[in-house]
């Protein structure tokens, strides 16, 4: 799956949210050993004769997603941007604000802005689900003008 944009979760810096070319939103936990597939190797590329070896390169680690959005309820075009909603803006009136950033917005050329709730992506909560959990937007807003 090709990723078009990423954003680190401001409250949990180990968690990365990404937007994909197919419109889905995906999350990874960089610190989770449970989701690690393999430790990659440094790419082997032909060096130019005068080129020095770059010792600052790190090995790549492949991760399984922590959570993936439902394809039917995701964007219909690639995700162009992801931004977290600031702490002082209240998205959900039913829950008490706890001073943390739980919501982020994704936008796409399909004309929709989706608002997602990240409270459902903690590893402990996801382990409690017996079947595959599919993430759906909290709110979906159509920005195209309807005539």
> Is the pLDDT at 44 greater than 60, yes or no?
no
- Burial group, residue 22, by CB count within 10 angstroms (0-12, 13-18, 19+): middle
Q: What is the mean pLDDT of residues 94-111?
A: 82
Confidence of residue 130 (pLDDT cuts 50, 70, 90): very low
- Burial group, residue 77, by CB count within 10 angstroms (0-12, 13-18, 19+): middle
Residue 70 is classified by DSSP as -
> Is the pLDDT at 138 greater than 70, yes or no?
yes
In the chain the domains, ranked by start, together with CATH numbers, are 3-41+59-142 (2.130.10.10)
CB distance 10 to 18 below 8 Å:
no
Q: Which residues contact 24 (CB under 8 A, 6 or more apart)?
A: 1, 68, 69, 71, 74, 75, 79
Dist CA 81 CA 92 (whole Å):
22
Query: Which residues sit opposite 141 in a β-bridge?
Result: 113
Confidence of residue 118 (pLDDT cuts 50, 70, 90): confident
Q: What pTM was computed for the model? A: 0.73
Query: Mean pLDDT for the chain?
Result: 78
| Residue, of 48 and 92, whose pLDDT is higher | 92
CB distance 108 to 24 below 8 Å:
no
């Amino acid at each position: 799956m090709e990723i078009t944009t990423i954003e680190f979760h401001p409250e949990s810096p180990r968690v990365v949210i990404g937007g994909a070319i197919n419109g889905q939103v995906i999350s990874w936990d960089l610190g989770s050993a449970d989701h690690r597939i393999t430790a990659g190797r440094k790419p082997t590329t032909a060096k130019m004769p005068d080129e020095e070896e770059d010792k600052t390169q790190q090995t790549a680690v492949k991760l399984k997603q922590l959570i993936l959005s439902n394809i039917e309820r995701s964007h219909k075009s690639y995700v162009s941007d992801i931004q977290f909603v600031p702490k002082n803006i209240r998205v959900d009136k039913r829950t008490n604000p706890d001073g943390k950033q739980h919501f982020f917005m994704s936008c796409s050329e399909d004309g929709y802005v989706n608002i997602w709730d990240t409270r459902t992506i903690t590893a402990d909560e996801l382990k409690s689900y017996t079947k595959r959990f599919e993430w759906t937007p909290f709110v979906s807003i159509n920005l195209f003008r309807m005539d």
